[in-house]
């Protein structure tokens, strides 16, 4: 299948190229880059030299995509709205890694992203791309909005507990830390080595835009606080919820059983009694999840670790594309992490 990657020079775009190189059914024919047109991919990203010795970046835009079986967009938020109407019908499947079509209403998008949505008629045409949540809808879907990185981790940690009625749907708190690759490849003072190294900071207090996606996925009210950690890859989401019953507190074993029931058949989710770590998921499309119930305070604590560039971005996008195209869901995706 002929594949295009828009925004192929960014971190998520490079990860898409890396994973597509290992996919037996994908052949990357077009890789666009705004400032790198004409440059060889191997020159820009030497780690891809063996896979793409001759592929050159194409100019930004949608010219040259006609007839492709699959196109991934790793462009910044807001850009896919500008061309989706023109691209629609000219390619097979389109998978957007940005937030343009994740939220279900134009009003929610305007509230959380600060701009009016340019193509609101497409919002109900896109399928939300979190396979463990929307697998049935993804089969054959031509337009997919891949889930965000933080919402993926929080949703995987909490969804079974919410669905089982084990926890309340309000007073949910999500604290999550991400590596700096989640901020993209652009230069910024707060992402420089001297600023990030040996530092751990919160940001987006009270109004981070991923809050809306977390609440939409789970049907809850949540307080979400993201943090920037001094590492390259990974997200660890630590989620707090109150038990649904004020008189009967579930045990940790009860809560773990709910996760096992939900996820033991899932290829890319590992339910563990141990504490998940970002290092264990690095390079893989797996999420590691656990839960604890604290009888002393009455809180339910759920944790999920993922690689933000794989399960949180490129890997999840390919997982969604596999489902859309009728391929085995796990095709081309790494299940084992890198260690050390």
Cα angle, residue 210 at apex, residues 45 and 74 outer, rounded to 5°: 25
Those residues with Cβ within 8 angstroms of residue 190's Cβ, 6 or more apart along the chain or in another chain: 196, 228
DSSP H or E stretch at residue 301: strand 300-306
CB 243 within 8 A of CB 302: no
Q: Dig out the tokens for 120 from the structure.
A: 């609101």
What is the CB-side half-sphere exposure of residue 29 using CA atoms within 13 A?
14
The active-site residue, picked from 20, 149, 239, 286, is 149
Kindly list the strands in the beta sheet with 70-73, ordered across the sheet, starting from the edge strand earlier in the chain.
27-31, 2-6, 70-73, 93-96, 143-146, 127-129
Torsion of CA 244, 250, 252, 255, to 10 degrees: -60
Task: Decide the pairing of beta strands 201-202 and 143-146.
Answer: unpaired
Q: Is 239 a catalytic residue?
A: no
Shortest CA distance to 132 belongs to which of 173, 162, 160?
160
CA 284 to chain centre: 13
Burial environment of residue 216 by CB neighbours within 10 A (0 to 12, 13 to 18, 19 or more): middle
Query: Strand pairing partners for 30?
Result: 4
Catalytic residues: 149
């Amino acid at each position: 299948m002929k594949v295009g990657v828009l925004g192929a020079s960014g971190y998520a775009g490079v990860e898409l190229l890396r994973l597509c190189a290992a996919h037996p059914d994908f052949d990357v024919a077009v890789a666009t880059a705004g400032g790198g047109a004409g440059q060889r991919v191997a020159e820009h990203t030497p780690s891809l030299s063996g896979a793409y010795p001759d592929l050159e970046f194409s100019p930004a835009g949608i010219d040259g995509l006609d007839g492709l079986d699959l196109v991934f967009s790793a462009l910044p938020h807001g850009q896919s709205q500008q061309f989706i109407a023109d691209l629609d019908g000219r390619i097979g499947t389109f998978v957007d890694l940005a937030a343009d079509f994740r939220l279900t209403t134009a009003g929610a998008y305007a509230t959380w992203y600060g701009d009016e949505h340019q193509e609101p008629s497409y919002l109900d045409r896109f399928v939300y791309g979190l396979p463990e949540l929307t697998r049935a809808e993804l089969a054959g879907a031509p337009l997919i909005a891949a889930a965000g990185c933080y919402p993926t981790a929080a949703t995987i940690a909490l969804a079974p507990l919410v669905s089982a009625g084990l926890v309340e749907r309000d007073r949910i708190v999500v604290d999550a830390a991400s590596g700096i690759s989640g901020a993209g490849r652009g230069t910024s003072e707060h992402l420089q080595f001297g600023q990030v190294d040996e530092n751990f900071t919160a940001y987006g207090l009270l109004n981070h835009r991923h809050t809306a996606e977390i609440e939409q996925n789970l049907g809850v009210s949540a307080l979400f606080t993201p943090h920037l950690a001094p590492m390259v890859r990974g997200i660890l989401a630590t989620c707090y919820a109150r038990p649904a019953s004020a008189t009967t507190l579930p045990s940790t074993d009860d809560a773990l059983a709910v996760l096992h029931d939900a996820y033991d058949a899932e290829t890319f989710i590992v339910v563990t009694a141990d504490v998940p770590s970002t290092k264990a998921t690095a390079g893989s499309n797996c999420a590691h999840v656990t839960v604890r119930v604290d009888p002393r305070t009455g809180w339910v604590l759920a944790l999920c670790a993922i690689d933000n560039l794989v399960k949180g971005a490129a890997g999840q996008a390919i997982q969604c594309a596999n489902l859309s195209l009728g391929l085995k869901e796990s095709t081309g995706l790494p299940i084992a992490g890198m260690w050390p």
